[in-house]
């Protein structure tokens, strides 16, 4: 699909999907690690990247819903549960949606139904360091 959207001379250079499930898991893991203690603040992380990482988490939610029900118990489901637990450990509830002017769901679900990750904010703002 991704290859069909680019010029012929670029198609051969695309060897793996940019938005694969593996890449989405890697994005979510990097995002969680970035907010954990010990993250190097030398790496620039803008708030727009946080928004993109939450979109990646949305994509993982869609992938998991597309799998058979027992998939939640498989290695992918367990990995996602561990990453989500780490995310909750380094974030705080944001019922007033204080990041709303900069961070908002962009998928096709109604905004009234965003995943829990959209309703939390980092305890330590990685873009403010």
Render pLDDT for 1-19 as a digit per residue (tens, 0 to 9).
556 666 777 777 766 666 7
Predicted confidence at residue 103, as pLDDT, reads: 74
The answer as to whether 34 is a domain residue is yes
How far is the C-alpha of 33 from the C-alpha of 83, rounded, in Å?
9
**Residue 9: inside a domain:** no
Note the pLDDT of residue 111: 61
* Position 110 confidence tier, pLDDT thresholds 50, 70, 90: low
Query: Does any domain span residue 12?
Result: no
**102 pLDDT more than 80:** no
SS3 state of residue 124: coil
Does some domain include residue 7?
no
Please indicate, yes or no, if residue 11 is contained in any of the structural domains: no
Q: Is residue 103 one of the residues assigned to a domain?
A: yes
Average confidence (pLDDT) over 98-115: 69
- Count the domains in the chain: 1
Tokens found for residue 76: 């992918």
The whole domain housing 69 covers 22-128
pLDDT for the residue 23: 85
Torsion, CA 115, CA 118, CA 121, CA 127, rounded to 10:
130
Is residue 84 a part of any domain in this protein?
Answer: yes
Using the predicted structure, report yes or no on whether residue 83 has a pLDDT greater than 70: yes
Compute how many other C-beta atoms are within 10 angstroms of the C-beta atom of residue 77.
14
């Amino acid at each position: 699909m991704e290859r069909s959207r680019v010029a012929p001379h670029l198609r051969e250079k695309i060897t793996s999907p940019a938005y694969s499930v593996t890449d989405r898991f890697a994005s979510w893991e990097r995002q969680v690690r970035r907010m954990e203690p010990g993250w190097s603040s030398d790496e620039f992380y803008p708030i727009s990247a946080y928004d993109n990482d939450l979109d990646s988490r949305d994509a993982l939610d869609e992938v998991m819903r597309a799998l058979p029900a027992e998939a939640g118990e498989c290695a992918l489901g367990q990995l996602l549960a561990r990453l989500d637990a780490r995310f909750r450990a380094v974030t705080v509830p944001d019922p007033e949606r204080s990041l709303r002017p900069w961070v908002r769901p962009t998928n096709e679900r109604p905004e009234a139904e965003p995943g829990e990750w959209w309703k939390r904010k980092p305890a330590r703002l990685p873009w403010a360091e």
